[in-house]
């Protein structure tokens, strides 16, 4: 029997070991490659899911906010990961990542300005943005050329305003005032002027009592009138020409005056696209008055009312001055009042009749303005200026608000309007960042509306 040689090895065994080593390395490489591909596929799916989720968030913008105000914005309330998870499931993957929403970008005043400019890019051709300003500018220029504006200031700062107020508002007739003057004035020589003066007194009294506006007008308290006049005059130089910056200001002013709620809505009032305000909020709110004055309440509404009254008064003064018959009558009455003041004051106060003429025109225009204001308050239009029977300028309440919004700094209008939009629609966001993690890696995507970029 032969003894076996234990030191002898089989070639087949060595090959098996060699192949095992090679195959183990190959399997390791293949498994690593497969894992890499699987991770890469999952990463691509996560990015796709992030894109789907972020597009879903951005597409969930407030439809009314866009329709009425031209603003793309979404709310972060209620954001979930439903679309993210379903996008992964569609690709046959399990949702192994947690979704995080971060860095939500709120809309700023600069974003709002971009939205407004875009809003008017296809609407401005149908809106007369400068017609109100041009008509008002021509009105002030005419008043200035005729020296009426300077005469208004001179009259209001003179003793004449007090005497004229007593004569027009007092209970004593023109004849009784002349009797106070003694023998200085001959009643028989000025019978026609006496009748005209009494007619002015009666018309003023009737207008005040018939206006149904619940308050009197102090025709001696003109400090606010003069202050507002300075502001109104400054508008002419500012908006004489249209530049890109001013064009944006026209857009913002019109947007604020016509797309938000106000106290005295014109007939058929609504937003620019016709949306009724009760579908935006439940009660009437003085939002545009807030844009102009910076406050809410009756006092702030009256501030806008006073500015509106001033514009109408200026128009009526020019209208009466342009009417030769009215002007001649007022000038004749002014001569009589000047004589009455001089006689009653025993020569201590002598007033140029031309100054009293302007004062009388202010009083007459004030009475005329109340009628026009009543029309505006009841949803109609005010007739600002009429010449030879033809109406040249009319304005409704929104037109006045637009004019007054032009006096407010653009940034202030944007800040206040954004405040009101967030009151009605909640916090407004334009973009967001979404993040998801997987096996130590973080996948991130940031996106916002192209309108604001």
Residue 6 lies in a domain: no
- Report field, pTM of the whole predicted structure over 0.85: no
Q: Are residues 445 and 296 in the same domain?
A: no
The pLDDT value given to residue 4: 47
Q: Are residues 41 and 184 in the same domain?
A: no
Q: Are residues 148 and 296 in the same domain?
A: yes
What is the percent of the chain where pLDDT is above 90? 20
User: Are the CB atoms for 339 and 185 separated by under 8 Å?
Assistant: yes
Residue 3 lies in a domain: no
Q: Are residues 181 and 50 in the same domain?
A: no
Residue 2 lies in a domain: no
d(CA 153, CA 223): 10
- Cβ contacts of 44 within 8 Å, gap of 6 or more: none
Domain count across the chain: 2
User: Are the CB atoms for 365 and 313 separated by under 8 Å?
Assistant: yes
User: Are the CB atoms for 398 and 269 separated by under 8 Å?
Assistant: yes
3-class secondary structure, 391: strand
- Cβ contacts of 173 within 8 Å, gap of 6 or more: 198, 201
3-class secondary structure, 179: helix
Residue 250 lies in a domain: yes
Residue 286 lies in a domain: yes
Domain span holding position 402: 114-424
Q: Are residues 321 and 386 in the same domain?
A: yes
Q: Are residues 343 and 376 in the same domain?
A: yes
pLDDT per residue of the chain (453 residues) written in tens, 0 to 9: 444 455 555 555 666 665 666 666 556 555 554 454 455 556 677 777 788 888 888 898 999 999 999 999 998 886 777 777 777 676 666 666 677 778 889 999 999 999 999 998 877 666 667 777 777 778 878 888 888 877 887 787 777 777 787 788 777 777 777 777 666 666 666 778 878 888 888 877 777 665 555 445 554 455 666 666 666 666 656 655 555 667 888 899 999 999 999 999 999 899 888 889 988 988 889 999 999 999 999 889 988 988 888 889 888 888 888 888 888 888 888 888 888 888 877 666 677 888 888 888 888 888 888 888 889 999 999 998 887 777 778 899 999 999 899 888 999 999 999 999 999 999 999 999 888 877 667 778 889 999 998
The pLDDT value given to residue 228: 65
3-class secondary structure, 78: coil
d(CA 399, CA 403): 6
Q: Are residues 99 and 224 in the same domain?
A: no
3-state secondary structure 412-430: HHHHHHHHHHHHHHCCCEE
Residue 414 burial (10 A CB sphere; 0-12, 13-18, 19+): buried
User: Are the CB atoms for 318 and 385 separated by under 8 Å?
Assistant: yes
d(CA 190, CA 68): 63
Q: Are residues 407 and 441 in the same domain?
A: no
The pLDDT value given to residue 362: 85
**Helix, strand, coil: what percent of the chain each, to 5?**
65, 10, 30
Q: Are residues 76 and 221 in the same domain?
A: no
Q: Are residues 432 and 406 in the same domain?
A: no
Residue with tokens 């030769």: 324
- Residue 159 CA, chain-centre distance (Å), reads 40
Q: Are residues 412 and 442 in the same domain?
A: no
Q: Are residues 441 and 360 in the same domain?
A: no
Radius of gyration of the chain (CA): 39
Residue 397 lies in a domain: yes
User: Are the CB atoms for 252 and 113 separated by under 8 Å?
Assistant: yes
**Token reading at 133:** 């300003």
The pLDDT value given to residue 258: 93
Residue 5 lies in a domain: no
């Amino acid at each position: 029997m032969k003894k076996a040689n234990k030191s002898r090895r089989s070639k087949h065994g060595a090959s098996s070991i060699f192949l095992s080593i090679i195959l183990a390395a190959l399997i390791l490489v293949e498994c690593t490659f497969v894992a890499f591909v699987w991770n890469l596929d999952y990463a691509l799916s996560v990015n796709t899911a992030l894109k789907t989720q972020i597009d879903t968030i951005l597409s969930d913008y407030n439809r009314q906010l866009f329709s009425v105000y031209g603003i793309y914005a979404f709310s972060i309330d209620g954001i979930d990961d439903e679309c993210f998870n379903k996008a992964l499931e569609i690709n046959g993957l399990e949702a192994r990542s947690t979704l995080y929403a971060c860095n939500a970008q709120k809309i700023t005043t600069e974003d709002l300005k971009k939205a407004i400019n875009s809003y008017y890019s296809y609407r401005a051709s149908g809106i007369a943005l400068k017609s109100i300003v041009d008509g008002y500018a021509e009105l002030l220029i005419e008043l200035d050329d005729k020296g009426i504006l300077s005469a208004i200031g001179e009259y209001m700062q003179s003793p004449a305003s007090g005497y004229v107020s007593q004569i027009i508002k007092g209970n004593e007739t023109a004849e009784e005032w002349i009797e106070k003057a003694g023998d200085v004035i001959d009643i028989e020589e000025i019978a026609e002027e006496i009748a005209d003066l009494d007619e002015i007194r009666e018309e003023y009294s009737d207008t005040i009592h018939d206006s149904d506006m619940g308050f009197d007008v102090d025709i001696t308290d003109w400090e606010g009138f003069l202050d507002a006049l300075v502001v109104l005059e400054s508008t002419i130089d500012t908006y004489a020409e249209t530049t890109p910056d001013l064009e944006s200001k026209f857009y913002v002013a019109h947007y604020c005056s016509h797309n938000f709620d106000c106290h005295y809505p014109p007939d058929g009032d609504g937003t620019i696209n016709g949306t009724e305000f009760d579908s935006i909020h439940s009660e009437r709110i003085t939002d545009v008055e807030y844009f102009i004055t910076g406050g809410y309440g009756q006092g702030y509404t009256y501030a806008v009312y006073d500015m509106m009254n001033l514009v109408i008064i200026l128009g009526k003064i020019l209208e009466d001055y342009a009417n030769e018959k009215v002007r001649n009558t007022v000038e004749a009455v002014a001569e009589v009042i000047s004589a009455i003041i001089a006689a009653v004051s025993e020569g201590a106060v002598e007033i140029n009749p031309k100054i009293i003429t302007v004062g009388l025109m202010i009083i007459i225009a004030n009475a005329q303005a109340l009628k026009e204001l009543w029309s505006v308050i009841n949803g109609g239009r005010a007739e600002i200026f009429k010449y030879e029977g033809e109406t040249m300028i009319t304005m409704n309440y929104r037109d006045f608000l637009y004019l007054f919004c032009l006096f407010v700094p653009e940034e202030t209008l944007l800040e206040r309007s954004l405040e009101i939009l967030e009151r009605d629609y909640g916090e407004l966001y334009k973009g967001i960042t979404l993040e998801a993690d997987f096996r130590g890696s973080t996948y991130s995507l940031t996106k916002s509306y192209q309108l604001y970029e």
